[in-house]
Amino acid sequence: MISYIEISDFAIVKDLKLELFPGLNVITGETGAGKSVIIEAVSMALGARADSDYVRHGAEKAVITLVIDPEGADVSGILSEIGAPEEDPLIIRREISSQGRSLCRVNGMPVPLSGLSRLCRKLADIHGQYDQQYLLDPSNHINILDLYGGESLSAVKALTADAYRQYASASSNLMRLKKRITENARQRELLKFELSEIEAAAIQPGEDEELEQQINLMENSESIFEALSSAHEDLFSGDCSAVSLLGKAMNALESVSSFTPQLAELSEKISSSYYELEDMSRDIRTQRDSVNYSREDLDSAIERLELINSLKRKYGGSIESIEKYAEISAKVLSDIENADVQVEDLERKIALARQQYDIAAGRLSVLRKDAAGLLEVRIDRELSELNFKNARFKVDIQPTGTSEIGTDKVEFFISANVGEDLRPLAKVASGGELSRIMLALKRIIGDVDGIPTMIFDEIDTGISGATAGVVGEKLRAIAENHQIICITHLPQIAAKGAHHFRIEKHSDEISTQTTVVPLSEEERTEEIARLLSGTTVTDSARLAARELLAQ
């Protein structure tokens, strides 16, 4: 429940502090005193969108603070998600600057507005003219019925939603796949051609570099042959060749090598050089004799290199990129050619999900019809007690298309008088009737929604007399299990409160301020008398007020 409200610099409220209690808290005041301003401030603290126009003139920011006892409301998960510490009580603070900036804090930790709103929907409901519009919108009726259906209906509704999501996801995937199959018809032919082109080329790793080397050799083969021939002749041909002269030097040194170790070492080096030179002779001759490339070999190598370079330009710039492109393309082509298998798999998933959905949605419809019958009985009883003596309430359930919430369309119908046909709620209910219908729903639904605090902003609009007394009794009954904060202008309702507060507006030459004060028993009698008689409070009004309070 909300145990404390503090508001500063919000509209005509400069500094307001209000301690609230369990049960029925009623707030009264003269027209224009600022009752709606306080509700607006609390609404923003509970996560409504901020409006900088509410910042008091001349102030930098408006600040609203609520102290809330969660009273068993399941909020730990949301607190964890929004990064707020779990403390009891919860301290919610909303700051709205004159420049339009907004800051939300829960237990001192900044939180996003969306998170604050989700948290506070578990803690408090504000009911007023907005709720009457909510009640008139048939699209909301299914949510009201489902809430009344309780946990068993909620569990089947979750199964229905899960099956629908699986069905919708598989159906969407199938549509995308079929579209892709159509779009890939041309791509498949292109991929086949490209893979065939790459496979036919049968390129080997490093082949381009080898071909470049071969072509370079073949294009310079004449110069290479002449150079090798000249080197061979200089080194090995005739008596004056390098090998002949080195042989003579070797023989000369061998003849004296035994005289000293130094001569022996020198002789060995000369001998080693001689035999190495002979080996070179064979290598040079082999290289020279291998320089025999034909023009056809050269043209063939150039053509092969051009083919490889062409494929490199098309597929990434290197032999490695060609191989990678072929690997990826083969997988894509395989996926395209195996699309029929994927289609069959998705069609099986769709059929299974649809079967599960039909079972869950069918069961959900049965539970809704059962809940509708019980809700009709309870609403008729509540409406009768609220002086709708001949009213009939009907929950109309009609089949509609598949959706995440099932196959049902739900709309509330009512007949307010004897002999009148049932008609859609939106077409027959007046403001006062709507207030009573909403109160009847909250009397019933409030027991299962788990929200500890309900705030009613002039729910008594359009009613008076004995009906007002019955509405007050209903509010007091709801307050047995909830904290109720009710702003009212009816004395019959104000008299039912366990705690009574009056909103007062004070003005001077500079500014206007609104305050809220708790009333003593004597002050309460005077306030109810004012509600009964108007501006001038008479003794008879005071007597009537005492009688109301005594009741």
CB neighbourhood size of 510 (10 A): 6
In the predicted model, what is the mean pLDDT of residues 371-381?
A: 93
Residue 505 has pLDDT above 60, yes or no: yes
Residue 113 has pLDDT above 80, yes or no: yes
In the predicted model, what is the mean pLDDT of residues 253-268?
A: 82
Tens of pLDDT, residue by residue over 195-212, are 888 888 888 888 888 888
Give the dihedral of Cα atoms 74, 75, 81, 83; nearest 10 deg. Answer: -150
Residue 307 has pLDDT above 60, yes or no: yes
What per-residue confidence (pLDDT) applies to 430?
Answer: 65
What per-residue confidence (pLDDT) applies to 37?
Answer: 86
Tell me the pLDDT band of 34, cut-offs 50, 70 and 90.
confident
Tens of pLDDT, residue by residue over 329-349, are 888 888 777 777 888 899 999
Look at 540 and 418; give whichever has higher pLDDT. Answer: 540
CB neighbourhood size of 428 (10 A): 16
Tens of pLDDT, residue by residue over 131-182, are 566 677 888 899 889 999 999 999 999 999 999 999 999 999 999 888 877 7
Among the ranges 69-73, 99-103, 502-506, which has the highest mean pLDDT value?
Answer: 99-103
What per-residue confidence (pLDDT) applies to 8?
Answer: 93
Tell me the pLDDT band of 290, cut-offs 50, 70 and 90.
low
For domain 1-123+451-518, give its CATH number from 3.40.50.80, 3.40.605.10, 3.40.630.30, 3.40.50.300: 3.40.50.300
Look at 184 and 537; give whichever has higher pLDDT. Answer: 537
CA distance linking residue 31 with residue 438, whole number of Å: 24
Q: Which helix (H) or strand (E) holds 486?
A: strand 483-487
What per-residue confidence (pLDDT) applies to 239?
Answer: 64
Strand, helix or coil for residue 458: coil
Sorted by sequence, the CB contacts under 8 Å of residue 536 that are 6+ apart come out as: none
> Locate tokens 């030097």: which residue?
249
Look at 121 and 399; give whichever has higher pLDDT. Answer: 399
In the predicted model, what is the mean pLDDT of residues 88-96?
A: 94
Mean residue pLDDT of the chain comes to: 85
And the tokens for 485? 């904060």
pTM above 0.85, yes or no: no
Where are the chain's structural domains?
1-123+451-518, 138-220+289-448, 520-551
Tell me the pLDDT band of 298, cut-offs 50, 70 and 90.
confident
Among the ranges 119-128, 431-440, 453-462, 519-528, which has the highest mean pLDDT value?
Answer: 519-528
Nearest by Cα to 73 from 83, 91, 88, 94: 88
Tell me the pLDDT band of 68, cut-offs 50, 70 and 90.
very high
Weakest-pLDDT range from 121-125, 174-178, 227-231, 358-362? 227-231
Nearest by Cα to 516 from 84, 186, 27: 27
DSSP 3-state helix, strand, coil percentages of the chain (rounded to 5)?
60, 20, 25
Sorted by sequence, the CB contacts under 8 Å of residue 321 that are 6+ apart come out as: 312, 315
What per-residue confidence (pLDDT) applies to 395?
Answer: 95
Residue 97 has pLDDT above 90, yes or no: yes
What per-residue confidence (pLDDT) applies to 267?
Answer: 82
In the predicted model, what is the mean pLDDT of residues 305-334?
A: 87
Q: How far is CA 202 from CA 197, 301, 459, in A?
A: 9, 15, 85
Residue 20 has pLDDT above 90, yes or no: yes
Tens of pLDDT, residue by residue over 243-253, are 777 778 888 88
